[in-house]
Structure 1
Amino acid sequence: MTALLPEGFRDTLPPFADAAAAVEARALAAAASHGYERADPPLAEFADGLGSRLKDGGLRNAVRFVDPVSQRTLAIRPDLTAQIARIAATRMAHHPRPVRLSYAGPVLKLRGDALNPAREARQIGAELIGLDSVAAAREVVTVAVDALEAAGASGISIDFTLPDLVDAMAGTLPVADVDALRERLDAKDAGGVATLAPAYLPLIAAAGPFPEALERLRAFDTHGILASRIAGLAEIVDSLGDRVQLTLDPTERHGFEYQTWLGFSLFVRGVDREVGRGGTYRIVREDGTEEMATGFSLYADVLVGTTTPERRRLFLPYGAPAAEGARMRAAGWVTVAALEAGDTPEAQLCTHILDRGEARLLGG
């Protein structure tokens, strides 16, 4: 017997597992309060079908195996969004638009990376499918913030981007190699941008705190090509008020390869990397037509972070009446009953003890 696990996998122990489950439940409840109903797709699908809905190259990071029943290749999902898109486009194609769906479940990647070596995670999210409007995007961003707040996060910040910016501008400001320009802008490589298309250089400076960055983006857009996107961003930000800190990086592309006019990354205080991301994208229906969708994903294990969640456990001394325990549980307490005369609250990691019918803080 050995406790060794494969690279990229780990056990989640108490109280972290309980905390992650609570984060998931609260985030889903916040989405449900906005009308997002939960869908629960299977852990694995036929690889060719799943691959057709993942972003370019997404199946390369999927664990695949041959199904002994069908003798076809299956893939374990590396991302849940593609499965929600499939459900909306097939099983719920008849449903009036927009469709509001939420989800939560495990995802598995073939390999991690240097910044995030974990290969397994629990993904939580919500998708609004069948409507492409600022109002739809505004709602999804609001739901994401509500979900983070419900999960107990504080110091929330959002970094917005415009993933299709270069494509939108290319007709007016021609560039020989669009893909190379996207890469150089994403890397903030001023020298590379100057070589490829110097007219795009102001975009590197159009990043930072939202109000200033948006004004620089307006100044760059002398032809009005981005006017609707800029107006949409401003409307979304106005709806958030002072709930979150806001930044803009209009040329950020990493992780937003399949988003259209809007993308956003979510951060919270105390976590050194993003806790989620979202944006607008296209899905393909069974008849081959496309429809727009907007959504976001969060990761419960990242939200829990590295700090130990607070325990609040009430120790019931040996022989305490069962009715007393039931009364305290009804009042919201987690009770841990002594099953032997020598049991102690410290051994059971309790914070309180039942003393003459009341909860008394240990050490207080």
Structure 2
Amino acid sequence: MRKWVLPDYVEDVLPPEAQRMEATRRALLDSFAAAGYALVNPPLIEHLEALLTGTGRDLEHNTFKLIDPLSGKLLGVRPDITPQVARIDATYSGSDASTPRRYCYAGEVLRAEASIGSSRALTQVGAELFGDATVNGDVEIVRLMIASAKAAGAAPLLLDCGHVGVFKALAQHYELSPKATQAADAALAAKSSTALSDIKSLSDEARQTLATLTTLFGPAKTVLQRARAALPRNATITAALDQLEAVATAITESGAQCSLDLADLPGLDYHTGLVFVAYLQGTTHVVARGGRYDGVGEAFTQGNARARPATGFSFVDLRALAEVTA
């Protein structure tokens, strides 16, 4: 009798684990619905250009590609659902760009590469708020993430937050070239002052300020105080720090802990403001990721003024979440 072997990093989910996953999914979606988020269910496959349009191009290396036998066109299997929700908002939300719209989703994603200890076939659950460019939208999203995680049994949480606007403002302030900006981003990710020293085009002042960013991590209140004292007087930086303060207050009021890291800049070309990762307190288990990505739907508006601000999050692996909440 032949023994069937699944592809690498792809697994069946068997009882009772599948039942736990379904209960967790239901708890999350019920929390979203109670907060006014409408469920959408985009397709598993799309034309490749739609999946990789705009900010979705960062996902190209992780996207399975295939030929549609009906049309002969190149299709992609989604590696992430957020760009699809952006397409839905741009296509179906009507002509009033000022009206905030709230969406949630739960569905399979497939990735060409696997993270360490992870599957390539994941169930992703998340929520997105379109049309609110203010910090109130970010506050709403972090509160929803904490409340829904708590409803699913994932508590207490630690949220590690950053804001890409701080680094982008510094890059503009010191007139960094695209190449220097990319190198500085990599150096900050490694928290390496040595790597910053290797960027010859940086002025001494720019290098010193960027090196300061690598030290600005830890409890939110302390980091904000130090950042306001150490960073250049700049309206964009001040606004970003004010937004982080409002988000940190909301996180604490929601019963979670908040830390900040101003050198952590995931998806610099994708995110435009707040970024955050949620962990179960006392562990390294990532529960959710999110942030602001105001440019996510712009490519779907074809130059129309309806390109809308957006903020949201996703529980990146429902199976892993169900496991730690069992």
**TM-score, structure 2 length as denominator?**
0.88
Alpha-carbon distance between aligned partners in 1 of 2:55 and 2:320, rounded to the nearest angstrom: 23
TM-superposed deviation, 1:174: 3.5
Q: Tell me how far apart the structure 1 counterparts of residues 50 and 288 of structure 2 sit (CA, whole Å).
A: 25
Letter in 2 for 1:67: D
Give, in angstroms, the shift of residue 93 of structure 1: 3.7
Partner of 2:240: 229
2:310 pairs with 1:293: yes
Match of 1:106 in 2: 108
Q: Secondary structure at the match of 2:213?
A: helix
Quote the RMSD (CA, aligned, Å): 1.9
Distance in 1, matches of 2:123 and 2:269, equals 22
**How far is the alpha carbon of 1:165 from its aligned partner?**
2.4
Q: 1:261 aligns with which of 257, 273, 288?
A: 273
Structure 1 CA distance, aligned partners of 2:15 and 2:53? 38
Runs of 4+ in 1 over 6 A off after TM superposition: none
1:161 aligns to what SS in structure 2? strand
Greater mean deviation of Cα atoms: 68-77 or 286-295: 286-295
Pairing of 1:269-288 with structure 2 (within 5 A):
269=281, 272-281=284-293, 282=295, 283-284=297-298, 285-288=300-303
Q: Distance in 2 between matches of 1:140 and 1:100?
A: 10
Counterpart of 2:202 in structure 1 is none
CA distance in 2, matches of 1:270, 1:221: 31
Cα distance, 1:272 vs structure 2: 3.2
In structure 1, what is the equivalent of residue 204 of structure 2? Answer: none
Displacement of 1:116: 4.0
| TM superposition score normalised by structure 1 | 0.80
Total equivalences in the alignment: 307
Higher relative contact order (CA 8 A, sep 6+): 2
Output one character per residue of 1:9-60: Cα deviation in whole Å (capped at 9) or x when no partner. Answer: 0111111111111111111111111110101101100011111144343122
Contact 2:28–2:148 (8 Å) recurs in 1: yes
Q: Which residue identity does 1:185 align to in structure 2?
A: L
Match of 2:323?
305
Cα offsets for 1:259-294 (capped at 9, x unmatched): 101111111147533121111112214242432100
Q: Select the structure that is richer in helix.
A: 2
**Which residue in the other structure is 2:129 paired with?**
128
Shift of 1:180: 0.6
1:164–1:260 CA contact under 8 A, matched in 2: yes
Distance 1:239 1:254 in 2: 22
Structure 2 alignment gaps of length 5 or more:
200-206
Distance 1:296 1:3 in 2: 36
* Unmatched segments (≥5 aa) in structure 1: 310-364
Amino acid at match of 1:70: S
Q: Which amino acid aligns with 1:239?
A: A
Distance in 2 between residues matched to 1:154 and 1:206, nearest whole Å: 26
Kept in 2: contact 1:205–1:216 (CA 8 A): no
1:256, 1:301 → 2: CA distance? 28
1:306: Cα distance to partner?
5.8
Does the 8 Å contact 1:165/1:251 carry over to 2?
Answer: no
